[in-house]
Chain A
Amino acid sequence: MRAFRYERPSDRAGAIALVAGAPDAVFLGAGTNLVDLMKLEVAMPELLVDVHRLTSDQIEGLPDGGLRIGAAVRNTDLAADLTIRRRYPMLSQAILSGASGQLRNVATVGGNLLQRTRCVYFQDLTTPCNKRQPKSGCSALDGHQRDAAIFGASEQCVATHPSDMAVALAALDAVVRTEGPKGERAIPLTELHRLPGTQPERDSVLEHGELITAVDLPRLDFAANSHYRKVRDRASYAFALVSVAAALDVVDGTVRQARIALGGVAHKPWRAYEAERDLEGAPATEASFRAAAEAELEGARPLPGNAFKVALARNTMVRVLSNLTEGQR
Protein backbone atom coordinates (compact mmCIF):
# COMPACT_ATOMS: atom_id res chain seq x y z
CA MET A 1 0.00 0.00 0.00
CA ARG A 2 1.25 3.48 -0.85
CA ALA A 3 1.66 5.98 1.96
CA PHE A 4 -1.17 8.46 2.46
CA ARG A 5 -2.28 11.20 4.81
CA TYR A 6 -5.42 10.74 6.90
CA GLU A 7 -7.73 13.54 8.01
CA ARG A 8 -10.93 13.44 10.04
CA PRO A 9 -12.47 16.91 9.74
CA SER A 10 -15.24 17.88 12.14
CA ASP A 11 -17.75 18.98 9.53
CA ARG A 12 -18.88 18.24 5.98
CA ALA A 13 -17.82 21.57 4.51
CA GLY A 14 -14.29 20.97 5.76
CA ALA A 15 -14.24 17.44 4.35
CA ILE A 16 -15.50 18.57 0.96
CA ALA A 17 -12.93 21.39 0.82
CA LEU A 18 -10.11 18.97 1.70
CA VAL A 19 -11.00 16.51 -1.07
CA ALA A 20 -11.83 19.22 -3.61
CA GLY A 21 -8.47 20.85 -2.93
CA ALA A 22 -6.33 17.80 -3.64
CA PRO A 23 -6.58 15.88 -6.93
CA ASP A 24 -5.56 12.55 -5.35
CA ALA A 25 -7.79 12.83 -2.26
CA VAL A 26 -10.76 10.55 -1.65
CA PHE A 27 -13.50 10.21 0.94
CA LEU A 28 -13.25 7.25 3.33
CA GLY A 29 -16.44 5.61 4.59
CA ALA A 30 -15.98 2.15 6.07
CA GLY A 31 -13.29 1.43 3.50
CA THR A 32 -14.27 -2.19 2.82
CA ASN A 33 -13.72 -1.73 -0.93
CA LEU A 34 -11.29 1.20 -0.89
CA VAL A 35 -8.79 -0.36 1.54
CA ASP A 36 -8.82 -3.57 -0.49
CA LEU A 37 -8.09 -1.64 -3.69
CA MET A 38 -5.34 0.31 -1.91
CA LYS A 39 -3.68 -2.96 -0.88
CA LEU A 40 -3.75 -4.04 -4.52
CA GLU A 41 -2.48 -0.58 -5.53
CA VAL A 42 -5.42 -0.25 -7.88
CA ALA A 43 -6.27 2.82 -5.79
CA MET A 44 -3.38 5.04 -4.65
CA PRO A 45 -4.89 8.08 -2.94
CA GLU A 46 -2.53 10.58 -1.38
CA LEU A 47 -5.11 11.76 1.18
CA LEU A 48 -8.00 9.93 2.86
CA VAL A 49 -10.72 12.15 4.32
CA ASP A 50 -12.75 10.16 6.83
CA VAL A 51 -16.43 11.07 6.54
CA HIS A 52 -18.04 8.17 8.34
CA ARG A 53 -19.25 10.38 11.16
CA LEU A 54 -20.16 13.36 8.95
CA THR A 55 -23.41 12.15 7.40
CA SER A 56 -26.51 10.79 9.09
CA ASP A 57 -26.71 7.17 10.20
CA GLN A 58 -30.49 7.40 10.63
CA ILE A 59 -33.55 6.59 8.51
CA GLU A 60 -36.20 9.30 8.70
CA GLY A 61 -39.70 9.74 7.33
CA LEU A 62 -40.30 12.43 4.67
CA PRO A 63 -43.45 14.57 4.49
CA ASP A 64 -44.58 12.90 1.23
CA GLY A 65 -44.50 9.47 2.87
CA GLY A 66 -41.07 8.54 1.58
CA LEU A 67 -37.93 7.82 3.59
CA ARG A 68 -34.55 9.53 3.83
CA ILE A 69 -31.65 7.16 4.44
CA GLY A 70 -28.48 8.80 5.76
CA ALA A 71 -25.34 8.00 3.76
CA ALA A 72 -23.65 6.56 6.87
CA VAL A 73 -26.39 4.03 7.63
CA ARG A 74 -24.71 0.63 7.74
CA ASN A 75 -25.95 -1.99 5.28
CA THR A 76 -27.05 -4.35 8.09
CA ASP A 77 -29.08 -1.60 9.75
CA LEU A 78 -30.79 -0.62 6.53
CA ALA A 79 -31.69 -4.21 5.69
CA ALA A 80 -32.99 -4.84 9.22
CA ASP A 81 -35.05 -1.66 9.48
CA LEU A 82 -38.68 -2.71 10.04
CA THR A 83 -40.16 -0.03 7.79
CA ILE A 84 -37.83 -1.01 4.95
CA ARG A 85 -38.64 -4.70 5.45
CA ARG A 86 -42.39 -4.08 5.30
CA ARG A 87 -42.64 -1.33 2.68
CA TYR A 88 -39.63 -2.08 0.45
CA PRO A 89 -38.80 -5.77 1.02
CA MET A 90 -36.71 -6.00 -2.17
CA LEU A 91 -34.30 -3.45 -0.72
CA SER A 92 -33.73 -5.55 2.41
CA GLN A 93 -33.32 -8.67 0.30
CA ALA A 94 -30.91 -6.98 -2.10
CA ILE A 95 -28.67 -5.83 0.72
CA LEU A 96 -28.81 -9.20 2.45
CA SER A 97 -27.82 -10.87 -0.85
CA GLY A 98 -24.57 -8.95 -0.94
CA ALA A 99 -21.21 -9.50 0.74
CA SER A 100 -21.04 -11.17 4.18
CA GLY A 101 -22.40 -10.39 7.63
CA GLN A 102 -19.03 -8.88 8.60
CA LEU A 103 -18.93 -6.55 5.59
CA ARG A 104 -22.59 -5.51 5.80
CA ASN A 105 -22.05 -4.56 9.45
CA VAL A 106 -19.70 -1.75 8.47
CA ALA A 107 -20.34 -0.93 4.79
CA THR A 108 -22.29 2.30 4.37
CA VAL A 109 -25.05 3.27 1.96
CA GLY A 110 -22.85 5.89 0.30
CA GLY A 111 -19.90 3.54 0.00
CA ASN A 112 -22.02 0.70 -1.35
CA LEU A 113 -23.15 2.92 -4.23
CA LEU A 114 -19.59 3.96 -5.06
CA GLN A 115 -17.88 0.57 -4.88
CA ARG A 116 -15.80 -0.29 -7.95
CA THR A 117 -16.33 -3.13 -10.39
CA ARG A 118 -15.11 -6.61 -9.48
CA CYS A 119 -14.03 -7.26 -13.09
CA VAL A 120 -10.94 -9.46 -12.59
CA TYR A 121 -8.84 -7.35 -14.95
CA PHE A 122 -9.61 -4.14 -13.08
CA GLN A 123 -8.04 -5.69 -9.98
CA ASP A 124 -5.09 -7.29 -11.78
CA LEU A 125 -2.26 -4.81 -12.29
CA THR A 126 -0.50 -7.16 -14.73
CA THR A 127 -3.25 -6.84 -17.37
CA PRO A 128 -4.50 -3.88 -19.42
CA CYS A 129 -7.72 -2.26 -18.19
CA ASN A 130 -9.19 1.00 -19.49
CA LYS A 131 -11.07 1.59 -16.24
CA ARG A 132 -7.93 1.31 -14.12
CA GLN A 133 -5.57 2.88 -16.64
CA PRO A 134 -7.25 4.82 -19.46
CA LYS A 135 -6.23 3.86 -23.02
CA SER A 136 -4.39 0.71 -21.92
CA GLY A 137 -6.99 -1.62 -23.47
CA CYS A 138 -9.74 -3.97 -22.27
CA SER A 139 -8.57 -7.48 -21.39
CA ALA A 140 -12.12 -8.80 -21.05
CA LEU A 141 -12.92 -8.29 -24.74
CA ASP A 142 -11.08 -11.49 -25.52
CA GLY A 143 -10.71 -12.83 -22.02
CA HIS A 144 -12.88 -13.93 -19.10
CA GLN A 145 -16.40 -12.69 -19.84
CA ARG A 146 -18.59 -14.51 -17.34
CA ASP A 147 -19.04 -11.38 -15.23
CA ALA A 148 -19.20 -8.94 -18.14
CA ALA A 149 -22.07 -6.70 -19.23
CA ILE A 150 -24.74 -7.54 -21.81
CA PHE A 151 -26.27 -4.04 -21.87
CA GLY A 152 -24.71 -0.64 -22.56
CA ALA A 153 -21.06 -1.74 -22.77
CA SER A 154 -18.54 -0.03 -25.04
CA GLU A 155 -15.52 -1.04 -27.08
CA GLN A 156 -13.46 0.17 -24.15
CA CYS A 157 -15.14 -1.48 -21.16
CA VAL A 158 -17.54 -4.34 -20.49
CA ALA A 159 -17.39 -4.20 -16.67
CA THR A 160 -20.49 -4.51 -14.49
CA HIS A 161 -21.49 -2.60 -11.37
CA PRO A 162 -21.30 -4.97 -8.40
CA SER A 163 -23.87 -3.51 -6.00
CA ASP A 164 -27.05 -5.41 -5.17
CA MET A 165 -28.49 -2.57 -3.09
CA ALA A 166 -28.25 -0.14 -6.01
CA VAL A 167 -30.36 -2.44 -8.20
CA ALA A 168 -33.27 -2.31 -5.76
CA LEU A 169 -32.80 1.45 -5.34
CA ALA A 170 -32.88 1.91 -9.13
CA ALA A 171 -36.18 0.05 -9.36
CA LEU A 172 -37.56 2.18 -6.52
CA ASP A 173 -36.74 5.52 -8.21
CA ALA A 174 -34.50 6.50 -5.31
CA VAL A 175 -32.84 9.91 -5.37
CA VAL A 176 -29.24 10.46 -4.27
CA ARG A 177 -28.57 13.68 -2.37
CA THR A 178 -25.09 15.14 -2.55
CA GLU A 179 -23.07 18.04 -1.28
CA GLY A 180 -20.02 19.30 -3.12
CA PRO A 181 -17.86 22.31 -3.92
CA LYS A 182 -20.70 23.68 -6.09
CA GLY A 183 -23.41 23.12 -3.49
CA GLU A 184 -26.13 20.53 -3.06
CA ARG A 185 -27.94 18.53 -5.70
CA ALA A 186 -30.34 15.62 -6.08
CA ILE A 187 -29.53 12.93 -8.64
CA PRO A 188 -31.97 10.16 -9.61
CA LEU A 189 -30.24 6.89 -8.73
CA THR A 190 -30.72 5.67 -12.28
CA GLU A 191 -28.54 8.59 -13.41
CA LEU A 192 -25.86 8.34 -10.70
CA HIS A 193 -23.83 5.65 -12.47
CA ARG A 194 -22.61 6.09 -16.05
CA LEU A 195 -22.30 3.78 -18.98
CA PRO A 196 -18.61 3.32 -19.81
CA GLY A 197 -18.54 4.95 -23.27
CA THR A 198 -15.11 6.42 -23.95
CA GLN A 199 -14.48 7.22 -20.27
CA PRO A 200 -14.73 3.92 -18.41
CA GLU A 201 -12.53 5.29 -15.62
CA ARG A 202 -15.54 7.34 -14.49
CA ASP A 203 -18.09 5.15 -12.69
CA SER A 204 -20.51 7.91 -11.73
CA VAL A 205 -21.51 11.46 -12.56
CA LEU A 206 -20.23 12.74 -9.21
CA GLU A 207 -17.62 15.45 -9.40
CA HIS A 208 -14.37 15.42 -7.46
CA GLY A 209 -15.17 16.40 -3.89
CA GLU A 210 -18.89 15.68 -4.20
CA LEU A 211 -20.13 13.69 -1.21
CA ILE A 212 -23.25 11.52 -1.01
CA THR A 213 -25.17 12.67 2.07
CA ALA A 214 -28.41 10.67 1.83
CA VAL A 215 -30.64 8.55 -0.38
CA ASP A 216 -34.35 9.37 -0.59
CA LEU A 217 -36.89 6.64 -1.21
CA PRO A 218 -40.16 7.93 -2.64
CA ARG A 219 -43.40 6.51 -1.33
CA LEU A 220 -44.39 3.56 -3.50
CA ASP A 221 -47.21 1.60 -1.90
CA PHE A 222 -47.05 -1.41 -4.19
CA ALA A 223 -43.34 -1.87 -3.36
CA ALA A 224 -44.66 -3.84 -0.37
CA ASN A 225 -45.13 -6.50 -3.06
CA SER A 226 -41.54 -6.63 -4.27
CA HIS A 227 -38.72 -9.12 -4.40
CA TYR A 228 -34.98 -9.32 -5.16
CA ARG A 229 -33.52 -12.49 -6.61
CA LYS A 230 -29.82 -13.00 -7.20
CA VAL A 231 -28.29 -15.75 -9.31
CA ARG A 232 -24.60 -16.49 -8.71
CA ASP A 233 -21.96 -19.19 -8.93
CA ARG A 234 -22.02 -19.91 -5.17
CA ALA A 235 -25.00 -20.10 -2.81
CA SER A 236 -23.71 -17.14 -0.81
CA TYR A 237 -21.00 -14.50 -0.68
CA ALA A 238 -20.52 -14.01 -4.41
CA PHE A 239 -21.34 -11.29 -6.90
CA ALA A 240 -24.36 -11.60 -9.17
CA LEU A 241 -24.26 -13.18 -12.60
CA VAL A 242 -27.76 -11.78 -12.93
CA SER A 243 -30.12 -10.30 -10.37
CA VAL A 244 -33.65 -8.97 -10.61
CA ALA A 245 -35.38 -6.42 -8.39
CA ALA A 246 -39.08 -6.08 -9.09
CA ALA A 247 -42.23 -4.57 -7.61
CA LEU A 248 -45.58 -5.39 -9.12
CA ASP A 249 -49.01 -3.81 -8.80
CA VAL A 250 -51.67 -6.26 -9.94
CA VAL A 251 -55.41 -5.52 -9.78
CA ASP A 252 -58.03 -8.02 -10.94
CA GLY A 253 -55.44 -10.02 -12.83
CA THR A 254 -54.06 -7.01 -14.73
CA VAL A 255 -50.70 -5.33 -14.21
CA ARG A 256 -51.24 -1.70 -13.33
CA GLN A 257 -47.58 -0.83 -12.79
CA ALA A 258 -44.25 -2.60 -12.58
CA ARG A 259 -40.81 -1.53 -11.45
CA ILE A 260 -37.98 -3.74 -12.62
CA ALA A 261 -34.19 -3.41 -12.51
CA LEU A 262 -31.43 -5.88 -13.33
CA GLY A 263 -28.02 -6.35 -11.73
CA GLY A 264 -24.85 -7.98 -13.03
CA VAL A 265 -25.67 -7.03 -16.62
CA ALA A 266 -24.36 -3.49 -17.10
CA HIS A 267 -21.95 -0.79 -15.95
CA LYS A 268 -24.85 0.52 -13.86
CA PRO A 269 -27.99 -0.91 -12.30
CA TRP A 270 -30.11 -1.62 -15.39
CA ARG A 271 -33.64 -0.28 -15.12
CA ALA A 272 -35.86 -2.40 -17.38
CA TYR A 273 -38.04 0.42 -18.74
CA GLU A 274 -38.91 -1.54 -21.87
CA ALA A 275 -40.27 -4.46 -19.83
CA GLU A 276 -42.14 -2.07 -17.52
CA ARG A 277 -43.88 -0.36 -20.44
CA ASP A 278 -44.70 -3.70 -21.98
CA LEU A 279 -46.37 -4.93 -18.80
CA GLU A 280 -48.53 -1.90 -18.11
CA GLY A 281 -52.15 -3.02 -18.65
CA ALA A 282 -51.13 -6.55 -19.62
CA PRO A 283 -52.67 -9.63 -18.01
CA ALA A 284 -50.53 -10.78 -15.07
CA THR A 285 -49.60 -14.09 -16.65
CA GLU A 286 -46.36 -15.93 -17.25
CA ALA A 287 -46.81 -15.32 -20.99
CA SER A 288 -46.91 -11.53 -20.43
CA PHE A 289 -43.86 -11.67 -18.17
CA ARG A 290 -41.95 -13.67 -20.76
CA ALA A 291 -42.89 -11.26 -23.55
CA ALA A 292 -41.88 -8.26 -21.43
CA ALA A 293 -38.55 -9.85 -20.48
CA GLU A 294 -37.86 -10.66 -24.13
CA ALA A 295 -38.72 -7.11 -25.16
CA GLU A 296 -36.16 -5.81 -22.67
CA LEU A 297 -33.54 -8.31 -23.74
CA GLU A 298 -33.82 -7.40 -27.41
CA GLY A 299 -31.42 -4.61 -26.48
CA ALA A 300 -28.86 -7.04 -25.05
CA ARG A 301 -25.49 -7.35 -26.83
CA PRO A 302 -23.83 -10.33 -25.16
CA LEU A 303 -20.24 -11.44 -25.69
CA PRO A 304 -19.36 -15.05 -26.53
CA GLY A 305 -18.49 -15.73 -22.88
CA ASN A 306 -21.68 -14.38 -21.33
CA ALA A 307 -24.42 -15.16 -23.86
CA PHE A 308 -26.00 -17.36 -21.17
CA LYS A 309 -26.95 -14.20 -19.28
CA VAL A 310 -29.68 -13.38 -21.80
CA ALA A 311 -31.63 -16.54 -21.03
CA LEU A 312 -30.72 -16.31 -17.36
CA ALA A 313 -32.01 -12.74 -17.10
CA ARG A 314 -35.20 -13.64 -18.96
CA ASN A 315 -35.92 -16.67 -16.80
CA THR A 316 -35.13 -14.85 -13.55
CA MET A 317 -37.42 -11.96 -14.50
CA VAL A 318 -40.26 -14.37 -15.35
CA ARG A 319 -39.79 -16.26 -12.09
CA VAL A 320 -39.68 -13.17 -9.87
CA LEU A 321 -42.72 -11.58 -11.55
CA SER A 322 -44.69 -14.84 -11.43
CA ASN A 323 -43.96 -15.24 -7.72
CA LEU A 324 -45.01 -11.66 -7.04
CA THR A 325 -48.29 -12.30 -8.86
CA GLU A 326 -48.97 -15.36 -6.75
CA GLY A 327 -48.34 -13.20 -3.69
CA GLN A 328 -51.24 -10.97 -4.75
CA ARG A 329 -53.82 -13.64 -5.40
Chain B
Amino acid sequence: MDVEISLRVDGLEHRVLVDTRTTLLDALRERLGVTSAKKGCDHGQCGACTVLVDGRRLNSCLALAVAHDGAEIVTAAGLEATPADGLHPLQRAFIEHDAFQCGYCTPGQIVSAVGMLQEAAAGVPSVVSRDLDGEVVLDDEEIRERMSGNLCRCAAYVNIVTAIAEVAR
Protein backbone atom coordinates (compact mmCIF):
# COMPACT_ATOMS: atom_id res chain seq x y z
CA MET B 1 0.00 0.00 0.00
CA ASP B 2 1.50 3.33 -1.12
CA VAL B 3 0.71 6.62 0.57
CA GLU B 4 1.76 10.13 -0.39
CA ILE B 5 3.23 12.13 2.47
CA SER B 6 5.04 15.44 2.85
CA LEU B 7 8.19 15.89 4.87
CA ARG B 8 10.24 19.00 5.54
CA VAL B 9 13.87 17.87 5.72
CA ASP B 10 16.67 20.25 6.65
CA GLY B 11 14.51 23.16 5.51
CA LEU B 12 13.41 21.67 2.17
CA GLU B 13 9.84 20.56 1.43
CA HIS B 14 9.32 17.16 -0.13
CA ARG B 15 6.29 15.22 -1.29
CA VAL B 16 7.00 11.55 -1.65
CA LEU B 17 5.07 8.35 -2.28
CA VAL B 18 6.02 5.67 0.24
CA ASP B 19 5.06 2.07 0.85
CA THR B 20 3.54 1.82 4.34
CA ARG B 21 6.51 -0.36 5.38
CA THR B 22 8.99 2.46 4.75
CA THR B 23 10.67 3.80 7.85
CA LEU B 24 11.52 7.45 8.19
CA LEU B 25 15.18 6.45 7.85
CA ASP B 26 14.60 4.63 4.56
CA ALA B 27 12.44 7.49 3.27
CA LEU B 28 15.30 9.90 3.96
CA ARG B 29 18.10 7.76 2.57
CA GLU B 30 16.48 5.77 -0.23
CA ARG B 31 13.71 8.06 -1.44
CA LEU B 32 15.01 11.58 -0.77
CA GLY B 33 18.77 11.00 -1.02
CA VAL B 34 19.40 12.48 2.42
CA THR B 35 22.18 10.18 3.68
CA SER B 36 23.29 12.03 6.80
CA ALA B 37 21.29 9.74 9.09
CA LYS B 38 22.92 6.30 9.04
CA LYS B 39 21.53 2.78 9.20
CA GLY B 40 23.39 0.82 11.86
CA CYS B 41 21.34 -1.87 13.60
CA ASP B 42 17.95 -0.87 12.12
CA HIS B 43 16.36 -1.93 15.44
CA GLY B 44 16.62 1.17 17.63
CA GLN B 45 19.62 -0.12 19.51
CA CYS B 46 22.54 1.91 18.13
CA GLY B 47 21.30 5.46 17.55
CA ALA B 48 23.12 5.99 14.21
CA CYS B 49 19.78 6.95 12.63
CA THR B 50 18.97 9.67 15.17
CA VAL B 51 17.25 12.76 13.75
CA LEU B 52 15.22 15.59 15.23
CA VAL B 53 11.52 15.30 14.42
CA ASP B 54 9.51 18.37 15.35
CA GLY B 55 12.41 19.35 17.59
CA ARG B 56 12.91 16.05 19.45
CA ARG B 57 15.54 13.38 18.91
CA LEU B 58 14.29 9.95 17.93
CA ASN B 59 15.37 6.76 16.18
CA SER B 60 14.24 7.20 12.57
CA CYS B 61 14.63 3.44 11.92
CA LEU B 62 11.66 2.67 14.21
CA ALA B 63 9.42 5.46 12.93
CA LEU B 64 7.06 4.65 10.08
CA ALA B 65 7.21 7.40 7.45
CA VAL B 66 3.47 7.17 6.83
CA ALA B 67 2.80 8.06 10.48
CA HIS B 68 4.93 11.22 10.15
CA ASP B 69 3.13 13.02 7.34
CA GLY B 70 3.91 16.75 7.67
CA ALA B 71 6.85 16.29 10.05
CA GLU B 72 9.76 18.72 10.28
CA ILE B 73 13.01 16.73 10.26
CA VAL B 74 16.53 17.94 10.97
CA THR B 75 19.55 15.73 10.29
CA ALA B 76 23.16 16.41 11.21
CA ALA B 77 23.62 17.92 7.76
CA GLY B 78 20.90 20.47 8.41
CA LEU B 79 21.97 21.76 11.83
CA GLU B 80 22.27 25.50 12.14
CA ALA B 81 25.84 26.48 11.33
CA THR B 82 27.86 29.37 12.69
CA PRO B 83 28.89 31.72 9.82
CA ALA B 84 32.58 31.70 10.80
CA ASP B 85 33.24 28.08 9.79
CA GLY B 86 29.93 26.74 8.51
CA LEU B 87 29.78 24.24 11.36
CA HIS B 88 27.43 23.71 14.28
CA PRO B 89 29.31 24.15 17.59
CA LEU B 90 28.94 20.41 18.30
CA GLN B 91 30.38 19.53 14.89
CA ARG B 92 33.37 21.76 15.58
CA ALA B 93 33.80 20.28 19.07
CA PHE B 94 33.74 16.71 17.66
CA ILE B 95 36.50 17.64 15.22
CA GLU B 96 38.59 19.49 17.80
CA HIS B 97 38.35 16.71 20.37
CA ASP B 98 38.83 13.86 17.90
CA ALA B 99 35.45 12.44 18.92
CA PHE B 100 35.29 9.77 16.19
CA GLN B 101 37.34 7.32 14.21
CA CYS B 102 35.35 5.79 11.35
CA GLY B 103 32.65 8.45 11.65
CA TYR B 104 29.68 6.21 10.92
CA CYS B 105 27.90 6.91 14.21
CA THR B 106 28.91 10.59 14.24
CA PRO B 107 25.87 12.24 12.58
CA GLY B 108 23.61 10.33 14.98
CA GLN B 109 25.83 11.23 17.93
CA ILE B 110 25.79 14.92 17.02
CA VAL B 111 22.04 15.16 16.42
CA SER B 112 21.42 13.18 19.59
CA ALA B 113 23.64 15.60 21.53
CA VAL B 114 21.71 18.58 20.11
CA GLY B 115 18.44 17.00 21.28
CA MET B 116 19.95 16.00 24.61
CA LEU B 117 21.20 19.53 25.35
CA GLN B 118 17.73 20.90 24.61
CA GLU B 119 16.17 18.33 26.96
CA ALA B 120 18.61 19.25 29.72
CA ALA B 121 17.94 22.96 29.17
CA ALA B 122 14.22 22.25 29.52
CA GLY B 123 14.91 20.64 32.91
CA VAL B 124 14.32 16.99 31.94
CA PRO B 125 16.02 14.89 34.64
CA SER B 126 17.93 11.66 34.07
CA VAL B 127 18.15 8.54 36.19
CA VAL B 128 21.57 9.62 37.48
CA SER B 129 20.44 13.12 38.45
CA ARG B 130 21.35 13.65 42.13
CA ASP B 131 18.23 15.68 42.71
CA LEU B 132 15.27 14.61 40.59
CA ASP B 133 13.64 17.98 41.16
CA GLY B 134 16.75 20.15 40.97
CA GLU B 135 18.67 21.99 38.28
CA VAL B 136 20.30 19.79 35.64
CA VAL B 137 24.09 19.86 35.91
CA LEU B 138 25.62 18.15 32.88
CA ASP B 139 28.67 16.47 34.35
CA ASP B 140 30.30 13.54 32.55
CA GLU B 141 28.09 10.97 34.27
CA GLU B 142 24.96 12.82 33.15
CA ILE B 143 26.23 13.11 29.57
CA ARG B 144 27.07 9.39 29.42
CA GLU B 145 23.66 8.40 30.73
CA ARG B 146 21.77 10.76 28.44
CA MET B 147 23.80 9.64 25.40
CA SER B 148 23.50 5.90 26.14
CA GLY B 149 21.22 5.42 23.12
CA ASN B 150 24.15 6.15 20.79
CA LEU B 151 26.74 3.41 20.39
CA CYS B 152 30.21 3.94 18.90
CA ARG B 153 31.82 0.82 17.44
CA CYS B 154 35.22 2.53 17.56
CA ALA B 155 34.64 3.38 21.23
CA ALA B 156 35.43 7.07 20.90
CA TYR B 157 33.27 7.64 23.96
CA VAL B 158 35.87 9.45 26.04
CA ASN B 159 36.31 12.14 23.41
CA ILE B 160 32.61 12.26 22.56
CA VAL B 161 31.86 13.09 26.21
CA THR B 162 34.61 15.73 26.21
CA ALA B 163 33.26 17.33 23.03
CA ILE B 164 29.70 17.45 24.31
CA ALA B 165 30.80 18.70 27.73
CA GLU B 166 32.61 21.60 26.08
CA VAL B 167 29.50 22.71 24.23
CA ALA B 168 27.29 22.10 27.29
CA ARG B 169 29.31 24.64 29.31
Contact = CB atoms under 8 A, between A and B. Distances in A.
Contacts of B43: 36, 39
A4 B144 CA distance: 38
Given A36-B62, A101-B149, A79 B124 contact: yes
B127 A96 contact: yes
A82 B133 contact: yes
Interface stretch (A84-92, A150-158, A183-191): A84-92
Contacts of B42: 39
B59 A103 contact: yes
B133 A102 contact: no
B38 interface: no
B1 A76 contact: no
A5 B122 contact: no
Contacts of B57: 101-102, 105
B161 interface: no
A108 to B, nearest CB: 12
B64 A6 contact: yes
Contacts of A48: 20, 64
Contact of B58 (A39, A80, A102, A230): A102
Interface string B57-82: 11100111011000000000000000
Interface in A96-147: 96-97, 99-103, 105-106
A82 B59 CA distance: 26
Interface in A22-38: 28, 30-32, 35-36
Interface residues of B, number: 39
Given A28-B64, A79-B124, A101-B146, A3 B20 contact: yes
Given A4-B1, A80-B123, A36 B56 contact: no
B44 A6 contact: no
A80 B62 contact: no
A237 interface: yes
B50 A5 contact: no
B87 interface: no
A68 interface: no
Interface in B112-148: 112, 115-116, 119, 122-127, 132-133, 144-148
A187 B51 CA distance: 37
Those 4 A-B pairs whose CB atoms lie nearest each other, nearest first: A100-B149, A236-B148, A96-B127, A237-B148
10 contacts: A3-B1, A6-B67, A92-B125, A102-B47, A102-B112, A102-B149, A103-B62, A103-B149, A106-B56, A106-B58
Interface of B: 1, 3, 19-21, 23, 42-44, 47, 50, 56-59, 62-64, 66-67, 112, 115-116, 119, 122-127, 132-133, 144-150
Given A4-B1, A102-B112, 7 more contacts: A6-B64, A39-B42, A101-B148, A102-B58, A105-B58, A235-B145, A237-B149
